[in-house]
Amino acid sequence: MQKLIIGLVGEKLAGKDEAAKYLVKKYGASHIKFSHLLDEMLDILDMPKTRRNEIDLGLGLRDIFGNEVLYRALKKRTLESTHPMVVINGIRMDEQEKVIKELGAKMVYVTAPSELRYERYKHRREKIDDGKLSFEEFAKQDQQEETEKGIPELGKKAEFKIENLGTLEELYKEVDKIISHVK
């Protein structure tokens, strides 16, 4: 049986992590997140896990080892997974989309308006710098950071789209619809 691979693309705090957690819990998926690869390296380097450090490390690795260095690591982890389903979370660039498509992944674009995402940001404590930006600074990141500005265009390439405007239960129903369609 070939493993089902789901790729999640979306703006920060749109609901990708919640969708991934649900896929792990309900369907027994393995969860691979691009930022987890970077966080492992930051741990080894004894550096704080901040969004800025993740971005700088990722861009530095790309500059030195080529655009596909992190995607090769992701591909290796995906192929080594023994789970029947793998969810790849945090696709942000065309090269990432290319690699997950080579793996046969189905892409899902999870999106939400910036105001709603900012409300979620104010309460999240995943990274040490969460909750510290004003709304204007938060919205500015979507347009300026190399890792964020192309997400809406990348989302247009996805086979499925979830507008995450409601409750977690509503998000889960949308995820279930997609899984029933691709299984």
pLDDT in tens, 41-91: 999 999 999 888 998 999 999 999 998 888 888 889 999 999 999 999 988
pLDDT tens for the 183 residues of the chain, in order: 578 999 999 999 999 999 999 999 999 999 998 889 999 999 999 999 988 899 899 999 999 999 888 888 888 999 999 999 999 998 888 877 888 888 999 999 999 999 999 999 888 877 777 788 889 888 888 777 677 888 999 999 999 999 999 999 999 999 999 999 998
| Domain locations in the chain as residue ranges | 4-182
Residue 140 is predicted with a pLDDT of 85
pTM of the model: 0.87
Q: Are 91 and 11 in contact (CB under 8 A)?
A: no
Topology annotation, domain 4-182:
Rossmann fold (3.40.50)
Residue 94 is predicted with a pLDDT of 80
Q: Are 110 and 170 in contact (CB under 8 A)?
A: no
